[in-house]
Amino acid sequence: MRLFGCVALVLLLSIFTAYGFPSKQTELIELSVIHINDFHARYEETNLDSGLCKTSNCIGGFSRLFASVMKIIEEKPHSILLNAGDNFEGTLWYDVHKWNVTQYFFNKLPTDAFTLGNHEFEDKIAGLVPFLEQLKAPVVVSNIDATREPSIQNLFNKSVVIERHGLKIGIIGVILSTINEIADIGNLILLKESESVNTEAERLVREEGVFTNIVLSHCGYDVEKAIAANATSKISLVVGGHTHSFLYTGEPVPGTDIPVGPYPTIVQNKEGKKVLVVQASSYTKYLGNISLFYNNFGEVVNWTGAPVFMDSKLPQDKEVNEELQPWKKQVDANEGNRIIGQTMVRLEQSSCPMAECLMGNFITDAMVFGYLDHPEPGTWTNASIAMMHAGGLRSGIDIGSITYYEATSIAPFNNTIDIGEIQGKHLKEIFESSTSDDGITLLQVAGLKIVYNLTMPEGSRVTFLQVRCRKCTVPVYEDLKDEEMYRVVLPSFLAEGGFGFTLFKKYFKNRQIGGRDRDLFVRYVEICLKCCVVNYSIKFAMQTFLPIVLFLKIVLCAQFNLTIIHFNDFHARYEPVDNLSTTCEGDNCIGGFSRLYSKITQLKNETPNSLLLNAGDNFQGTLWYIVHKWNVTQHFLNKLPFDAITLGNHEFDDGIAGLVPYLNHIKAPVIVSNIDDSKEPRFQNLTRKSVIVEKGGKKIGIIGVLTTSTKLTSRTENLTFQNELESVNSEAKKLQELGVFTIIVLSHCGYEADLEIAQKSNFKISVIVGGHTDTFLYSGSPVPGPDKPSGPYPTPVLNINGGTVLVVQASAYTKYLGDLKVIYDELGNLTGWGGNPVFLGPETPSDGEIDAELEVWKKDVDLEGGKIVGNSKLAMRNKPCRSEECPLGNFATDAMVENNNTCNLAMIHAGGMRAGIETGNITFNQLISTFPFQDTINLCEIKGEHLVKILESCVDDNHLKWPHLFQVSGFKIVFNVSNPEGGRVQSVKTSCRECADPIYENLVLEKYYRVFLPTFLTDTDFNPLFKKYIRNKIIGDRDSDVYVRYLGKHSPLWARVEDRIKIVS
């Protein structure tokens, strides 16, 4: 919108220049439109899946919606308020109160017009008439012929004309012409949408002289775009509903919904004029808010606005809350708040239309469960297959107790759950139809394994289909047989061909009507007690599209549930950060210790049977550590109720002397199983190999382990590091002999090392909580936050005994908080799992007391860190630096060279750059976040042939798998990675130092070259070739001083890729 506004302004200024400034008659006319659609009885606040909210971060609800509408109207008194239908049905509120509660609360809003949705017919016409009689606002539908339904005649109109700014505005209603397929509309006749709308629009222009027409539609986004394309007679805006479409323009997108198009969506009609289309999701998650600017001819020339996310920060209305209470009491008295079970995983439904989802697994398993009684001889069930359409799943359920209210809100349409038969070949045809070129509307299933390959032609996308046997005593999956008849369970809506699945009506034979859906779901939860639908798999069945596989595993009655809350690689991120993990200010910051503390406190309160673990690297990374060292770390970490902490390699950055005070002050047990401190008495008795904690009456062993490479990269002095796997298994054996229920490994070894430990682990190890490689793992979509997943969360691995071990890690720098749910049987074997890292985004609240304490420590940091040391025109990311030339590396090495004119070559390792730098001003704090290790830049001499060996070492077989290139200045290097190991440096050129005009010359193997290197390369065993081959080392300036001087001369910085490093194959 900002760009369009600029263009519009230029055009208007051009007109003004040519003809003078406009008179009052040529000023733009503003119309503000507030709009609501698909309310679906969400009178109470909801969670992000539109189910019952159980936390403090609730969204939506009528009170918040009311307050937001009234605030906008107060700011813009001439606003138009429209409601696009589907206010009935969706929660127990409607079941208990029907139309009465709907009219009561919506009559409090100054709505200019309503249209009807299909769900307004849930209780047929008899259930709609009282609502229409009591509603104060006009109801408009232009395409319903009610001549054969006298009871509803005269209760709605085709349109209404309102007045704003002395101008007449026409509002025309329209409903989808096929709703008779999904709702009982009696003898009403539905007419075509566009024809009806245009006819009424023409009448309003001709007879009423309207300035513009607005269409209020319950037809769905695609149909609404078609209405816009065919629009005539001054139609400028289509306000929509029915498909729950979330439209949005710009970044960041508020809330969890993924936009399906821009807000507004601009359509050009047949007259070449713009018609805007808007919709605002559903369930009170968003409130539509758009302002249109018209010229004197009633044509839209500009617009602004966006859906308002109804998050917990927005206030509710106190009086409305009080009025809701009496109605709520009746809902609760109708068993609404009765707890019927609990879930250890979040049953989300937002992904159900496009992928397998936990809610779909839960519901379809319940449907099979409903037909387990009295199976025929030789069978284990009366039906082994169940299917549910995603549109039938209307809300999710958060972790914790499940109430009757929630169970009835999942599928609120009072379907029956019916049993019948479908032939094998027709089952396949039905699944093919769900992935047609017209769109994907996946069915959720139980008792089936399906693979779709969406790169195949339409009609041949089901590439794998197996069916769980029914005529067997041990359920197994078998290939589908085309001619066999299979018993299938369906909701009545699907059985009758609803939601476009007309093939069910055609092929579903011998149908027997079953019980009501909500009764079945409630009974299923009550019998299971603790319901955990878990461990669904995603297999990549295509190369460029969404992977879809419907596999399932269920645990009906878990014996022991445990939540593991974890974070790793904190790296002194006490303040919030940006997406590049550098210090951030403003509304779009993420993470930081206060936000981390707040979320941990919330999760601990919600799941008392939980562990809190820290996988190391809490030291080093920002100016906070440089100024306050170990003291600030122990002060704030001691505020968290850790069950165990392990050490990271960076805890040794200031040697043993810099670590011992931290270990003396930290309250939680610090565990590392593979350190031999016999030669380092200062370190003795400050750590232990493991700890045993008790949760829910079960003894849980936790073993710590630290990567042996710490000896090479940090100042560990006289400590000896033992093999990680051997140390872990040895300690696990001891813990098992002590009778622990299960064992968790707390590791700072890195994701790949953790996978290997898991694969070769023994005894009762069930989970490895990791760190060191800053690895982000995630399962499902959408993926929150800036990181891209490197694997699933958790990553399941089979150990040497065939048991499952789960590996988790949660990125770094407080961007995410790990939240793993695990389920064990009575013997301590894993039977299920769920959860995902929690993104600590801007919407995550901080803690007021922590914020106040941080401010005290921040003052000393700000004295140094707040200074602006430079400016960059381009963003410089650090992540590419490991595998390719990067601008950040070029900046660092160029600064080294310019700092001392005695040498024109420099190298730095990618791991020395810990964050990126955004465009704009660079503070000293940001610079330190990027280069946090306070190295000196040392001048050395290295022979040409040894430089080649060093370069070869960064592209050996190990580093091809885990890249770690050196960034350079004064070099031009070509690597050919298709060559054998040891022969991959194809060419090296260096810039000449002893010449008037710098040119690049071939490297001479026997010549010694002066090279600038950071301390980490010259003094540690990170790459032992440096220590082996360098000579005549001269200690130089501190790296931060070097970078500050360079920025002072070269800001604004334009660092970019210059072909210093080329990689060919």
DSSP string, 938-951: EEEEEEHHHHHHHH
Three-class SS state of 402:
strand
> Which residues is 987 bridged to in the sheet?
974
595 falls in which pLDDT band (50, 70, 90)? very high
Question: Is 172 found in the same domain as 214?
Answer: yes
In-domain check, residue 861: no
Do the Cβ atoms of 246 and 37 come closer than 8 Å? no
Among residues 322, 350, 381, the one where a domain terminates is 322
Q: What percent of the chain has pLDDT over 70?
A: 94
Tell me the CA distances in angstroms from 572 to 593, 839, 854, 1007, one per residue in order.
Answer: 9, 18, 12, 43
**542 & 622 share domain:** no
Do residues 747 and 569 make contact, with C-beta atoms less than 8 angstroms apart? no
Give the Cα-Cα-Cα angle 206, 212, 216 (nearest 5 degrees).
105
Mean pLDDT of 284-301: 95
Contact 276, 302 (CB under 8 A): no
Lowest mean pLDDT among 229-238, 270-279, 470-479, 500-509: 470-479
Considering 520, 555, 590, which residue would you say is the last residue of a domain? Answer: 555
Tokens at residue 15, please?
A: 């007109």
Secondary structure element (H or E) that encloses residue 906, with its range: strand 906-909
Which amino acid, one-letter code, is at 434?
S
Residue 745's DSSP bridge partners are 703, 768
Say if residue 2's pLDDT is above 80.
no
Same domain, 685 and 783: yes
Residue 383 has pLDDT above 70, yes or no: yes
Q: Measured between alpha carbons, how far is residue 882 from residues 912, 936, 964, 986, 990 in Å?
A: 10, 21, 4, 19, 21
140-194 confidence digits (pLDDT tens): 999 999 999 999 999 999 999 999 999 999 999 999 998 887 788 999 999 999 9
SS (H, E, C) 634-700: HHHHCCCCCCEECCCHHHHCCHHHHHHHHHHHCCCCEECCCEECCCCHHHCCCCECEEEEEECCEEE
For 602, phi and psi rounded to 5 degrees? -65, -50
User: What φ, ψ does residue 179 adopt, rounded to 5°?
Assistant: -70, -15
Is the per-residue pLDDT at 779 higher than 90? no
> What's the pLDDT score for residue 554?
33
pLDDT digits (tens, 9 = 90+) for 516-546: 787 888 888 877 644 444 433 322 232 222 2
Candidate from 2-6, 48-52, 479-483, 912-916 with smallest mean pLDDT: 2-6
User: Per-residue b/e over 381-413, b at no fewer than 16 CB within 10 Å?
Assistant: bbbbbbbbbbbbbbbbbbbbebbbbbbbbbbbb
> Residue 271 has what pLDDT?
87
- Which amino acid, one-letter code, is at 845? P
**How many structural domains are present in the chain?**
4
In a domain, 383, yes or no: yes
The arithmetic mean of pLDDT across residues 1038-1058, rounded, is 92
Domain range enclosing 848:
562-855
Asked if omega into 998 is within 30° of 0 (cis), the reply is no
Per-residue pLDDT, 336: 67
Exposure class string for 229-250: b at 16+ Cβ within 10 A, else e:
ebbbbbbbbbbbbbbbbbbbbe
Which CATH number covers residue 644?
Answer: 3.60.21.10
H or E element that contains 907: strand 906-909
Better-predicted residue by pLDDT, 454 or 903: 903
Mean pLDDT of 312-322: 96
Stretch 591-606: mean pLDDT: 96
pTM for the whole structure: 0.51
Q: Which residue has the higher pLDDT, 452 or 1060?
A: 1060
Sheet holding 339-343, edge to edge: 400-403, 339-343, 530-534, 553-555
The predicted pLDDT at position 14 comes to 32
414 - beta bridge partners?
A: none
Q: How many Cα atoms occupy the beta-carbon half-sphere of 50 within 13 Å?
A: 27
Q: What CATH number is given to the structural domain containing 443? A: 3.90.780.10
Same domain, 119 and 83: yes
Which of the residue ranges 198-202, 257-261, 293-297, 1003-1007 would you say has the lowest mean pLDDT?
Answer: 257-261
Residue carrying the six token digits 């069978």: 379
**Which residue matches tokens 């041949």?**
460
Q: Within this chain, do residues 516 and 567 fall inside the same structural domain, yes or no?
A: no
**Spatial CA neighbour of 101 closest among 401, 396, 288, 334:** 334
Whether residues 234 and 261 share a domain: the answer is yes
SS3 category, 791: coil
Q: Residue 439 has what pLDDT?
A: 67
Determine the pLDDT at residue 86: 95
654 phi and psi, to 5 degrees? Answer: -105, 30
Asked if 371 and 442 sit in the same domain, the reply is yes
CB neighbourhood size of 998 (10 A): 10
For 713, the token pair is: 């990269």
pLDDT at 528: 63
Q: What is the mean pLDDT of residues 567-587?
A: 89
Please tell me the least confidently modeled range out of 156-160, 409-413, 802-806: 409-413
Rounded CA separation 400/834 (Å): 13
Residue 331 lies in a domain: no
What are the tokens at 248?
């949005």
Is 856 or 622 the better-scoring residue by pLDDT?
A: 856
Q: Are residues 548 and 482 in the same domain?
A: yes
**Same domain as 602, residue 705:** yes
Q: What angle, rounded to 10 degrees, do the helices at 1039-1050 and 887-899 form?
A: 100
Structure-derived torsion over alpha carbons of residues 259, 261, 262, 268, reported in degrees to the nearest 10: -170
pLDDT number for residue 802: 80
Q: Are residues 601 and 692 in the same domain?
A: yes
Does residue 20 carry a pLDDT above 60? Answer: no
Boundary (domain end) residue, out of 801, 823, 855 = 855
Nearest one of 935, 925, 943, 960 to 1036, comparing CA atoms: 935
201-214 b/e with 16+ CB inside 10 Å = b?
bebbbeeeebbbbb
* Torsional sign, CA 721, 722, 723, 725: negative
Residue 593 falls inside a structural domain: yes
What is Dmax (Cα atoms) for the chain? Answer: 102
Half-sphere exposure of 293 (CA within 13 A, CB side): 14
Q: Which residues, listed in sequence order, are joined to residue 768 by a DSSP beta bridge?
A: 745, 807
The residues, any chain, with a CB within 8 Å of residue 21's CB and separated by 6 or more, are none
Binned at pLDDT 50, 70 and 90, residue 657 comes out as very high
Which tokens is 284 given? 């009170």
> What's the average model confidence in pLDDT over 446-469?
88
Residue 29 has pLDDT above 80, yes or no: yes
**Residue at 327 is within a domain:** no
At residue 634, the pLDDT reads 97
Pairing of strands 400-403, 339-343: antiparallel
Residues whose CB is less than 8 angstroms from the CB of residue 315 and which lie 6 or more positions away in sequence, other chains included? 64, 67
What are the tens digits of pLDDT across the range 696-751? 999 999 999 999 989 887 889 999 999 999 999 999 999 999 999 999 999 999 99
Cβ neighbors of 145 (< 8 A, separation 6 or more) are 188, 189, 190, 191
In a domain, residue 851? The reply is yes
| Residue 450 DSSP one-character state | E
- Whether residue 846 is found in the same domain as residue 872: no
H-assigned helices in 26-81 = 62-75
In sequence order, the 6+-apart residues with CB closer than 8 A to the CB of 958 are: none
* Per-residue pLDDT, 347: 80
CA atoms within 13 A on the CB side of 407: 27
pLDDT at 486: 96
Let me know whether 28 and 139 are in one domain. yes
Is there a domain that residue 519 lies in? Answer: yes
**Phi, psi at residue 849, to the nearest 5°?**
-70, -40
Q: Report yes or no on 197 lying in a domain.
A: yes
pLDDT number for residue 542: 27
